[in-house]
């Protein structure tokens, strides 16, 4: 899964290089691109990214709401990106809060930082570091190398030690939420203590 941002250049770099890297994996891969709800660019800006792909890659775009005009042949579905996250095997992002959500679900996260992206982030925030890269809940790739991205994607998709270490770190930083229904159990227990 690829959550997009609001910057066209950054999105094109992230999406195109991830599609290229996916093609090198030698597996049938569905790349799901989540278009940012605040992206001011037309959906048609991205149409060719889903058309000219390696034979083992298919591309689906998702978006929170239906755009006015969807180019023919573009696989675009109306679905908020966080709703699709639970079906993802891997998240490749630049800087997205979806990376935090993925880490909480122990889904491996790669933060892909082309040089343009680092300069863009620094101009916007005053730093070129993303919190997930600093706390170790995502792995960072600097530069624009599809080969480096392919290598790391392969490691994370095959159950390697890298994947295990990353998920362990995600579990240390983002603790598991309480068991479903635990709040109700606590309330019932407190109420029962008043009866005694």
CATH number at residue 162: 3.40.50.2000
Domain ranges, residue 175: 2-195
Mean predicted confidence (pLDDT) in 62-80? 84
Q: pTM for the whole thing?
A: 0.84
The number of distinct structural domains making up the chain is 1
Q: pLDDT at position 50, please? A: 87
Ramachandran class of 93: left when φ > 0, alpha when ψ lies in -120 to 50, beta otherwise = beta
Tell me the β-bridge partners of 65.
none
Structure tokens at 75: 């696989």
Q: What is the pLDDT of residues 156-186, one digit of tens each?
A: 998 889 999 999 999 999 987 667 776 777 7
Q: Return the exposure string of 4-14: e unless at least 16 CB atoms fall within 10 Å of the residue's CB, then b.
A: bbebeebbbbb
Mean predicted confidence (pLDDT) in 34-55? 90
């Amino acid at each position: 899964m690829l959550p997009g941002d609001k910057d066209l250049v950054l999105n094109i770099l992230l999406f195109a290089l991830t599609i290229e890297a996916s093609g090198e994996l030698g597996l049938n891969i569905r790349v799901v691109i989540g278009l940012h709800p605040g992206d001011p660019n037309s959906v048609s800006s991205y149409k060719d990214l889903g058309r000219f792909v390696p034979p083992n890659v298919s591309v689906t775009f998702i978006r929170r709401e239906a755009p006015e005009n969807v180019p023919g042949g573009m696989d675009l579905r109306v679905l908020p990106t966080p709703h699709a996250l639970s079906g993802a095997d891997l998240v490749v992002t630049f800087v997205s809060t979806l990376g935090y959500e993925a880490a909480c679900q122990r889904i491996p996260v790669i933060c892909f930082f082309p040089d343009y992206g680092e300069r863009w982030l620094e101009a916007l925030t005053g730093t070129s570091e993303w919190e997930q890269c600093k706390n170790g809940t995502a792995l960072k790739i600097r530069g624009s190398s599809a080969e480096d991205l392919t290598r790391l994607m392969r490691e994370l998709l095959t159950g390697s030690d890298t994947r295990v270490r990353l998920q362990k770190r995600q579990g240390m930083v983002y603790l598991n939420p309480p068991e479903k229904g635990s709040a109700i159990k606590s309330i019932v227990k407190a109420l029962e203590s008043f009866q005694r």
